[in-house]
Every structure is written in structure tokens, then in C-alpha cells.
Amino acid sequence: MTKAINAVRDSFARRFAYRRTHHALMSLPMRTRIDCDLLGREEETARAAVYGR
């Protein structure tokens, strides 16, 4: 039972981290996102940062 609870807790934590990262990337000025080659790839970048490639 503890293993299942830990899996659910980990899932929630990763989802929260994904949302926080995605929001942070979207909050960057457009010029910064262009310079960092993130424009249009914010979701993909946040997903890779949290869940790995």
C-alpha cells in the first residue's frame, strides 16, 4: 500500500513541478524566449526538465 501512495505522491509532485516550470517559462519576456530558442517549445522544455527526455 505504501508503494502505491508514494507513486501517487510522486505523480502529483511531478505534475506540480511541470506546471510551475511551464508557468515560469511562459512568464519570460518574448525576447528572452527567442534568444534561448524556447519560443513555441515551452511545454516540451518543461516536460523534459521534469520528466526527462
Cβ–Cβ under 8 Å, residues 42 and 26: yes
Predicted confidence (pLDDT) at residue 46 exceeds the cutoff of 90: yes
Q: Cα–Cα distance between 39 and 42 in angstroms, integer? A: 7
- What is the arithmetic mean of pLDDT over 17-34? 98
- Kindly tell me the burial class for residue 46, based on how many C-beta atoms sit within 10 Å of its own C-beta (0-12, 13-18, 19 or more): buried
Q: Is the pTM higher than 0.95?
A: no
Question: How large is the average pLDDT for residues 19-42?
Answer: 97
| Residue 20, C-beta contacts closer than 8 angstroms, at least 6 positions apart | none
In this structure, what C-alpha cell is assigned to residue 6? Answer: 508514494
**Distance between CA 1 and CA 46 in Å, rounded?**
31
Average pLDDT estimate for 7-36: 97
pLDDT at 1: 74
- pLDDT, mean of residues 26-41: 97
